[in-house]
Structure 1
Amino acid sequence: MAALDFRVEHRQQQTLSPRLQHAVRLLQMSSLDFAQVVHEVLGRNPFLEDEALGSDELAPAGTPADGVADGVAANDEPMPVSAADAALEMPVGAAGEDERESWQGDGTSRLRRADDGEMSAMEMLASEPSLQEALHGQVDLLPLTSRDRTLVKTLIESLDDDGYLRTPLDELARLVELDPPATVAEMQIALRHVQALEPAGVAARDVGECLRLQLPLIECEDTRQLAEAIVTEHLNQLASRDVNGLARALNRPVAEVEAVCERIRRLDPRPGWRCGASQVQYVVPDVIVKKVRGEWTVQLNPAIVPKVRLNEAYAELFQRHRCSDHGELAAHLQEARWTLRNVEQRFATIVLVAQAIVRRQQHFLEFGAMAMKPLGLREIADEVGLHESTVSRVTNNKFMTTPMGVFELKYFFSRALVCPSGHACSGTAIRGLIKDMIADESPLDPLSDAEIARQLARQGLKVARRTVTKYRQLLRIDAVERRRKHA
């Protein structure tokens, strides 16, 4: 029988405190999410105030209206970004700013209230009607009986966002409360009424029916008849771009079939998207890169910085009358100071990492993607004095606007590919070469992935065919057969 043994071991290990764990999560957030978190803290913490709404009369005499860095306690626990403080050249949320900054917000700041009779900017935006609202407005102009109007409106409310009718007509007939009950024949008539409305193709049961409903938009009768034959009988070949197979099946010239297929592709397979406001996800850049006097400079985008500061008057009153019964207020004051420190060091770290990236990728800013150098997270981490995981969090969901466009910070990192000449080339540069090759190819004789790999090899870049395929798919470029045109 095994004997039981008790031992005591002393071991040291590093662990993150809950406060630092929260700071790491905040560092990984996008600027819009971070601004939302700060706005929530601002709403519940009495020691924080919005600089745009802060009242000067609450500040004690002789106290300057400082920015975010004010009120940071000297004994606060340091963030894991020790080298970040020197990178922030501009004060975050400087006071006394112009009123126009309320128009430059990111959507998370509170709107201007119409207390003085003025309307806010959001209230002045035009509201675009949804698909159902647009269809109901057209139905109200039709001379229909009350029974038919009820059936038509039932079908309209059953459409999905794409404008398709996914529910069977017999099931919808059972849901309508009419006396006598609605029949499938009546639902068919109501469906024809809806399909005659704008946009064309609405209330279709599948893609083929949606395209057939839009065929009357084709003016040429011969083209319309050929398009109807393709959509009705050869929809799969149309989807796979098998032009040669379609030409054989229809006994028509390849060029004519190719022209008709191109006309069909200009039809809208999702007519419901034409109505209603589209949900556009806007990207707000965190840093702005400009060339000033021959040198590339990096500056923080002031539109993403939360305009928040410590209410010095409340903090001084609390320190003057502090007692043991005010434990909740003490926690609020500590949270306010830690929030301000998070704001300051977060954006200082972003600027620090962005500056290091720009110093290493100046050729990209000058000449484009083909001049991108290989870059790893460890190189930036060693240069700025941060941990590699911290750099990874900083580059996640952070964006940089350059003369070449807006890019995520992760875009500038790529694995090095060694050329036969011994030089290293980044995957981003190779993707740029592949994109240029395909852009310059002949539509009648496009380049296959194997041919692209051979052309890259002749330029001294040995890239496998499967790597070319992967890069082409990342660029969202179709395969060679789908890019081929016929004379």
Structure 2
Amino acid sequence: MKNTIRAQLGQSVNLTPQLLQSIRLLQLTAPQLEMELREALERNPLLEQAEPEPEDEALDASAADEATLEAAAWDELPEPAYLSAGAGLASGDADATARIAAGESSDPRVRLLQQLALKWSEDDLAVASWWLDHSDDRGYLEAPLPELITRGAHALSLDPRELEAVRQRLLHGEWPGMAAATASECLLAQLRAERPGDRRDAEMRTLAECILTCHLDLLATHDYTRLAAVLGSEPSLVESAAALILGLRPSAIEEPREPVDTHIVPDVVVRLLGGAWRVALNGRTAPRLRIAPHCEQALAGGGGDHGVLRGLLDEARWLVRGIAMRNDTLLRTAQVLVERQQGFLERGEEAIAPLTLREVADAIGMHESTVSRITSGKYIQTPRGTFELKRLFAVRLEGAAVSGSAVKAMVKRLIDAEPAHAPLADDVIAGLLARQGVRIARRTVAKYRDQLAIGPARARQRAAATPTYAAAG
């Protein structure tokens, strides 16, 4: 066997920490970037938040002026009755804000009664309300149970057994443990609300109930060895039962659900000013960072052992530079997208032009992967709404000069305008599009119609005919 040495040329990319950071910043969405920058402010003492620049304040003032004009234009609109065809508001519900659903109450008693109102009778609800009025903020009764039963029976003119029956429904109902007389009763109700799994789980729950009923004092001292001896059970099973009890909630009160934040924060804002489309970054999405000038000047002189501070200074410089590169790339990409899709912004979906990642990458002098990263999860605010930047890309329809998205919008427009008694078949829609210079096959129309969740002509004709038959009957 002969050993040989052979020279070989090759190319490889070494990703430096700075490059990795720049790539990661490109991929961050607006909320993620804000969190990243605020953490950097707390972590690096050499960074500080910059004040808004004068041009930013001027932009905010112009935005306020536009909002004032929009409000004035809204005031000139007709009354809401005319906007909703009038008939629906004839009953006197003219205030649309009255139909907005209110949020959950901060009072736990109100929240629980709202849930019970869906299932309970009015009489039982009145008794439940009395019990809740005599419970504290943790859900426990404020006075001894016998005393409250006596007072309730007299106040509500009810049999004590009926009063206790309603309390038991509360105790084992929507919020297990509510209106409990003791902590043991509250925990027992929560424990019994869950169904056991396997056989070992059933044994563990039985032990837990026995502990809560008779040996709560031993549980408080965490004396599991004595507890196992008293119960005549394995120490491991007793410890599992104790862990199950400690995992229960000390209060029956359920906190209101946190509302899910569905707001979209636009990264880029587009306005039509002076007949031209203006693109700007949304300066409110993240704090502006800069390196503290006095810190940089102090470290520039040299001397002294400032190795840690110089490392923080390099980190701050990389971050500030990476953010500047990200913002520049995002702005340039958005400008190209707006320039290529002016027709869409002015006329709508049917005017969206074919546009690919490569075309945008060539226009800004970057790689397609960079354009893909900077447009993923980034939103643009336009007069036509706020949507993801990737929506402005469109695949060219094979053999045509228009995009598939535009043709899909044309198909939807034709179907929306068709006569109810004579829906358009797919081949008819293809013929109508051909007259407009868009030649596509019937199966392409069917594909777009399926994507729009629109049935075939025969199904649409039956759907339109159904109300007529019902009226005739």
TM-score scaled to structure 1, two decimals? 0.55
Amino acid at match of 1:20: L
Which aligned pairs between 1:12-23 and structure 2 lie closer than 5 A?
12-23=11-22
Tell me which residue corresponds to 1:221.
none
Q: Distance in 1 between matches of 2:352 and 2:311?
A: 48
In the other structure, the counterpart of 2:295 is 314
Q: What is the CA-CA distance between 1:31 and the residue it aligns to?
A: 1.6
Please list, as runs of the form range in 1=range in 2, the aligned pairs for 1:54-203 lying within 5 A after superposition. Answer: 128-129=104-105, 134-138=110-114, 141-144=125-128, 145-152=163-170, 154-157=172-175, 171=195
Query: Which 10-residue stretch deviates more, 433-442 or 370-379?
Result: 433-442
Determine helix, strand or coil for the equivalent of 1:37. Answer: helix
Instruction: Write the mapping of 1:329-368 to structure 2, written as runs, cut at 5 A.
Output: 329-368=309-348
CA distance in 1, matches of 2:110, 2:428: 51
Given that 1:136 and 1:153 are in contact with CA atoms closer than 8 Å, whether structure 2 keeps it comes out as: no
Which SS does the other structure have where 1:143 is aligned? helix
User: What's the CA shift for 1:390?
Assistant: 1.0
Map residues 270-419 of structure 1 onto 2, 5 A cutoff. 278-320=259-301, 322-323=303-304, 325-419=305-399
**What's the CA shift for 1:387?**
1.3
Residue 484 of structure 1: aligned partner: 463
CA displacement 1:432-462 (0-9 Å, x = unmatched): 1122123223455545656544543454433
Q: What secondary structure, in the 3-state scheme, does the structure 1 residue paired with 2:402 have?
A: strand
2:407 corresponds to: 430
Write the distance in 2 (CA, Å) between the matches of 1:440 and 1:318.
71
Distance in 2 (CA, whole Å) between partners of 1:131 and 1:411 is: 44
2:25 touches 2:323 (CA, 8 Å); kept in 1?
no
Query: What is the CA distance between 1:326 and its match in structure 2?
Result: 2.8
Structure 1 pair 326–281 and aligned structure 2 pair: CA distance change class (3 A): same
In the alignment of these two chains, the number of paired residues is 315
Partner of 2:213: none
- C-alpha distance in 2 between matches for 1:299 and 1:128: 38
| Aligned-residue identity in percent | 36
* Higher-Rg member (1/2): 2
Once residues 265 and 423 of structure 2 are traced to their aligned partners in structure 1, the CA distance between those partners, rounded to angstroms, is: 37
Q: CA deviation at 1:136?
A: 1.4
Structure 2, unmatched stretches of 5+, are 65-101, 117-123, 129-162, 177-191, 197-201, 211-255, 469-473
How far does residue 364 in structure 1 lie from its aligned partner after superposition? Answer: 1.5
What SS does structure 1 have at the residue aligned with 2:317?
Answer: helix
* Structure 2 SS opposite 1:401: strand
Contact 2:37 2:286 in 1 (8 A): no
Give the unaligned 5+ runs of structure 1: 53-65, 68-89, 102-125, 159-167, 180-274
Which structure has the higher relative contact order (CA within 8 Å, separation 6+)? Answer: 1
1:196-238 CA distances to partner (integer Å, 9 max, x unpaired)? xxxxxxxxxxxxxxxxxxxxxxxxxxxxxxxxxxxxxxxxxxx
Q: What SS class does the counterpart of residue 306 from structure 1 fall into?
A: coil
2:42 alignment partner, SS class: helix
Secondary structure at 2:280's aligned position in 1?
A: strand
**Mapped contact 1:130–1:276 kept (Cα < 8 A):** no
Shift of 1:471: 3.3
Q: TM-score, normalised by structure 2?
A: 0.57
Q: Deviations over 1:325-377 (max 9, x none)?
A: 43222111111111111221211111111111122111112211111111111
